Amino acid sequence: MPHASRPSRHRGISCSTSWIRFGFLEMLMFLGILGVFCLVACQKAPDPVAGLWQAEIENGNAPKVAFQIEVVRDGDTVRGALVNGPDREEATSGSFDGKSLALKFNFYDAELQAELADGKLTGEFIRQRGKSRTGRKFTASRELPTFAATAAGPDLSGDWILKVGEGDEQRVWRATLKQEGEKLGGTVIPISGDWGNLAGYVKDGQIYLSRFDGIRGLLWTARIADDGTLVGNFGSDRKVVAERFESAMAQGTKPQDPGSYTTVKDPEEPFRFAGVDLDGKQVASTDSRFAGKVVVVTITGTWCPNCHDEAPVLVDLYKRYKDQGLEIVGLAYEYTGNVERDLELLRIYRTRHSIEFPLLLAGTTEPGEIARTLPQLVNFGAYPTTIYLNRDGKVDYIHAGFESKVTGDRHAKLVAEIEERVKHLLATPKS
């Protein structure tokens, strides 16, 4: 009965094929589940410290100042920066051990130290201030501010004239603001130069602008008055009233001219300066290297942000005109009074900006030091102050402060004026 055995044989084959198919599908499902498990289990956990942090730092008796901290990790390498809108102050080195974060800013002899706990950073920014090291406490979180694309009220973008302080102490400064919806940025321009980029917002008729760059904790708060002026304070109690530039100028309210702020007692007398170079040698204006040369003397300090802004401009100027008889000298006034420590900071400053002209340690930042070391100056009041000497060694022009790139056209105009002044002095023979 040949047909009797066939069904049994076919059933066996059918049953075997089904088992194979079942096992294959089961295996696919198993591999799929395993793959998902591995994807989840093996996915790299978010870095606990890398990224952008919103911070607030103590500012003496004034309200706390907002800024941002950015941390980048690449393997064992840690980098960081203090962030104020588009401005970044890059740390020179960093470290993170899973709990403690350290960012060093060697050009300011400063360090940010913080502990990470519960998703927040808590710590201090420590730097040399005067003859001692002091710390300013700060906290930071991941809660970054958000800004609406539109804001009620007038657009504050443009130039402003600021009346700062009251009575005999009142000063007239400039400011430039740029508004995009609720987001507000800009800078304030006192006689010393500018405050760098301020970052903040305008909401419900109130403005908030701040900056912390390792040296300066700056805060401008104000309300928009019915007449369009901005009425408020720098810090907690320094009164400020800002008016649109065109309106203020039409009324005769003008900021101090940085080209007439500082003068000399006797313009016919050769200007004298002296200091210790980075090798510890005494250098003076009477040295032969300056005889018959056009000399640009900048009164500077490694702690001064505007001096760091000015340095690249002078470096470029020196490279292009030193063969035509230009000399540049940096007279540095430093905090500590410790010669070796101050000279080391000047070496760091030189390296950071690739400076080839002489840097001289001329004194400290103690009150009266400028009057003692540079007694010919009248009304010194800004770092940097840049003095232009003709080939006879006499003062041709003095400019107080320096306006950086954040001031836009004003910076470009200043740089062009510096070059034109140097070219004119180089073309003028010694009398």
Tell whether the torsion through CA atoms of 351, 352, 353 and 357 is positive or negative: negative
Q: Are residues 404 and 276 in the same domain?
A: yes
In the prediction, which pLDDT does 57 show? 98
Residues 91 and 111: beta-carbon distance below 8 Å:
no
| Distance separating alpha carbons of residues 137 and 305, to the nearest angstrom | 21
Helix (H), strand (E) at residue 308: helix 305-321
Last residue of one domain, picked from the residues 141, 168, 203: 141
Summarised one tens digit per residue, pLDDT across range 91-141 is: 999 999 999 999 999 999 999 999 999 999 999 999 988 788 999 999 999
Alpha-carbon Rg for the chain in angstroms: 31
Amino acid residing at 352: R
| Distance separating alpha carbons of residues 9 and 272, to the nearest angstrom | 116
In the prediction, which pLDDT does 7 show? 43
Summarised one tens digit per residue, pLDDT across range 273-287 is: 999 999 999 999 999
Q: Are residues 413 and 275 in the same domain?
A: yes
In the prediction, which pLDDT does 26 show? 61
For 213, residues 6+ apart whose C-beta sits below 8 A from its C-beta are 67, 82, 84, 87, 89, 196, 305
For residue 315 the two structure tokens come to 């470096």
Give the 3-state secondary structure of residue 15: helix
Give the 3-state secondary structure of residue 358: coil
Q: Is residue 150 part of a domain?
A: no
Q: Are residues 350 and 274 in the same domain?
A: yes
Low-confidence ranges of the chain (pLDDT < 50): 1-20, 22, 36, 38-41
Q: Tokens 């470029």 identify what position?
A: 316
Last residue of one domain, picked from the residues 80, 110, 141: 141
- If we measure between CA atoms, which residue out of 183, 186, 133, 182 comes closest to residue 160? 186
Last residue of one domain, picked from the residues 211, 228, 250: 250
Amino acid residing at 282: Q
Any idea what DSSP says for residue 407?
G
Angle between helices 305-321 and 339-353 (to 10 degrees): 60
- If we measure between CA atoms, which residue out of 377, 358, 366 comes closest to residue 284? 358
Write the DSSP assignment of 159-174 as a string of letters. Answer: EEEEEESSGGG-EEEE
Cα atoms found within 13 Å of the Cα of residue 399, Cβ hemisphere only: 17
Give the angle 175-178-179 at the CA atoms, nearest 5°. 130
Amino acid residing at 353: H
For residue 27 the two structure tokens come to 């295996």
- The number of distinct structural domains making up the chain is 3
Q: Is residue 301 part of a domain?
A: yes
Q: Is residue 218 part of a domain?
A: yes
Q: Are residues 120 and 200 in the same domain?
A: no
In the prediction, which pLDDT does 11 show? 42
Q: Is residue 34 part of a domain?
A: no
In the prediction, which pLDDT does 10 show? 43
Q: Are residues 351 and 395 in the same domain?
A: yes
In the prediction, which pLDDT does 4 show? 42
Angle between helices 409-427 and 305-321 (to 10 degrees): 40
Q: Are residues 183 and 294 in the same domain?
A: no
In the prediction, which pLDDT does 128 show? 86
In the prediction, which pLDDT does 130 show? 79
Any idea what DSSP says for residue 256?
P
Q: Are residues 268 and 390 in the same domain?
A: yes
Q: Is residue 148 part of a domain?
A: no
Residues 175 and 92: beta-carbon distance below 8 Å:
no
Which own/partner contact pairs does 85-94 have at CB distance under 8 Å and 24+ positions apart?
A: 85/185, 85/197, 85/198, 85/199, 86/185, 86/197, 87/196, 87/197, 87/211, 87/213, 87/406, 89/213, 89/214
CA 382 vs CA 69, 215, 305, 386, 403: distances in Å? 29, 16, 12, 10, 12
Residues 35 and 29: beta-carbon distance below 8 Å:
no
- If we measure between CA atoms, which residue out of 382, 373, 349 comes closest to residue 284? 373
In the prediction, which pLDDT does 46 show? 82
Q: Which CATH number characterizes residue 379's domain?
A: 3.40.30.10
Neighbours of 360 (CB within 10 A): 22
Q: How far apart are the first and last CA of the chain?
A: 136
| Distance separating alpha carbons of residues 215 and 110, to the nearest angstrom | 9
Give the angle 163-167-171 at the CA atoms, nearest 5°. 35
Q: Which CATH number characterizes residue 87's domain?
A: 2.40.128.120
**Which residues constitute the domain of residue 287?**
263-427
Q: Is residue 200 part of a domain?
A: yes
Tell whether the torsion through CA atoms of 54, 59, 64 and 65 is positive or negative: negative
Q: Are residues 334 and 414 in the same domain?
A: yes
In the prediction, which pLDDT does 13 show? 41
Q: Is residue 68 part of a domain?
A: yes
Helix (H), strand (E) at residue 409: helix 409-427
Q: Are residues 223 and 269 in the same domain?
A: no
pTM over 0.75: yes
Phi-psi category of 196—alpha, beta or left, where left has phi over 0 and alpha has psi -120 to 50? left
Q: Are residues 305 and 393 in the same domain?
A: yes
| Distance separating alpha carbons of residues 240 and 165, to the nearest angstrom | 6
Q: Are residues 309 and 180 in the same domain?
A: no
Q: Are residues 420 and 298 in the same domain?
A: yes
Q: Tokens 């005067």 identify what position?
A: 130
Q: Is residue 220 part of a domain?
A: yes
